[in-house]
Amino acid sequence: MMKERCMLAAAALALTLPCAMAEEAVVYEAESASLHGKIAVSADAGASGGKVIGRFENDADTADFSISVPQAGAYDLTFVCKGIGGGKTNKVKVDGQPQGEFTCAGEEFECCTLRGVLLEAGEHTVTVYKSWGWIWLDCLMVTPAQEIADSAFDVEPALVDADATQEARDLFAYLCEGYGEVTLAGQHCDLGYDGPETQAIYAVTGKYPAIIGLDMMDYSPQRQALGARSTATDVALDVHERGGIVTFCWHWNAPTDTLIEPIDRDTGSPSWWGGFYTRNTSFDIAAVMDGKDPEGKAAIDADIAAIAGQLGRLQDAGVPVLWRPLHEASGGWFWWGAKGPDACRKLWVYLYEQLTDVYGIHNLIWVWNGQNADWYPGDAYVDIIGQDIYADKHAYMPGNALFNEILDYSGGKKPIALTENGVVPDIELMRRTRAMWMWFNTWSGGFVHTNGQYSEAYTEAELLNKVYNSEYVITLDELP
C-alpha cells in the first residue's frame, strides 16, 4: 500500500524534490519508515510530504525503509535530506549489510545518492543510521541505476609529466591495459615483503600483493630533527628488486614552530609525532600559498627538497612510484586540507612543479586522493584518482557508489584506484557492479594481523583467499 501511494504521488513530489526524478523512481516518505531510538518526526513545509525525521543523535537512532524492487539489478538510493548546523555524513545498510554513506552538505534540502546498490527482486529493508548524525531526512527515492559503460575504462595511457621516465610510462601503460578487467592486490607494509602484514597474507593465501604501500613521513627534516628515522626508500628498492610495485603516501609534518603543544623529545608527544594532523598545528597553508608566510614556505620547501632526494634515489635505480601526496585533503583532519580547497589545489600544483621542474623527478605517477570533486586540481596535474574507503568490519561491498561518483571528476578520463581500504572488497561484487578499481591497498596493522598472525577482525580468511586467488586479481607472481 505504501509503495502504491508513493507511486501515485510521484508527479506531485517531482515538483517539490530538490532533484530530478526519473519515471521509474519510487519515493518512500521518511515519516512512514519504521523509526527506532529517539528519532523525532517534525513538520517541515519544505519537505515532500510536509514532514521530516531526525536527528540521529545516538547510535540507537535508526530509520528502516521497507522497499520493493521488481527485478534483480543495481539501484540508486537517493536520500533527500539537510544537515543540522552544516554538512553531515551518515551511513546506510540494506538488509543488515553496510552499503556506504551519504553526505548532506548544508542546511537546505538536497539529493544525496548512493549509486549502484545491488538488490535482488522483492522486498528489502534500507536502514539509515548514525555516523555523525544531526540530519533531517525527508524521503528515500529508489531508481534503477545506469550501468558503468565500457568507455569508463577506456583511458589514455599518457602521463601528465611529458618527461616521465620510461619505467613510469611502462608501468602506467600496464595498469591502463588491465583497467576494467583486473585489479591489483596491494598492502601497506612498512617492511615490504618481509613485514608482518605481507607474511600474514601469504600464510593464508599463498600469494603476495603486487603493490606495497610505504610512507615518506619520517624523511621530513622537521621529524628527523626530533629523532625520527626511516628506511622506506631502501624497502622500496627491495620491493622493486623482487618484482613488486611501489606506492608512497606522505604524512607530512607541519613546521615544528607551529605545533600547538610543547615538544617532548623523550616520549614523542602528539604535537610532533602527529604533526600532520590539523588539531596539532596552527600552520596556515593558505597564508603560505598567498605569499603571506615566507618562513612557513621556507619550511615546506626544505621538506620538499628532502623528499625529492629520496624520490631521486628511486629514479636513479629505475623504480617508478605511484605517488600519493596530500591524501584525504577534503576531510580537513590533515593540515593541507584545513584551509579549504583553493589552498590545497595551489599546494598540489606547487608540489608538482617543484618535484618535476625544479628537482627533475620524473619517475612519478601522480595519484590524487582529495576525496571531493571541489578539491580536484585539474587533469593536467593528475594521472590517477584515488579513493580511501574504510567500511564496517566484514562489509565486503565494492564501493561502487563512490566509483560512480568519481567518474564525474574528470569526465571519465582518469583511471580510479582504491588507494586505502580497511576491509578487502569482494572481487565478485566488484565485477557485478563494474566498480573495477585499478588496485586496492589495504592499510596496515590491525586491519591485517595481530602479533604477526592473520586477523579476521576486518576481512575473513575465506574472503581474503578468494580475492587473492581470483583470476581477476593480480598478485606479485603474476606481474610481468
Would you name the residues annotated as active-site residues?
Answer: 328, 420
Rounded CA separation 467/444 (Å): 18
Rounded CA separation 380/387 (Å): 19
Rounded CA separation 456/446 (Å): 9
Rounded CA separation 367/432 (Å): 26
CB 185 within 8 A of CB 473: yes
Q: Which long-range contacts link 161-165 to residues 24+ away (Cβ below 8 Å)?
A: 161/356, 161/362, 161/364, 161/366, 163/356, 163/362, 164/362, 164/363, 164/364, 164/365, 165/315, 165/318, 165/320, 165/362, 165/363
Closest CA to 376 of 334, 401, 411: 411
Rounded CA separation 444/440 (Å): 13
Strands 384-389 and 449-450: unpaired
Rounded CA separation 96/366 (Å): 38
DSSP state of 281: B
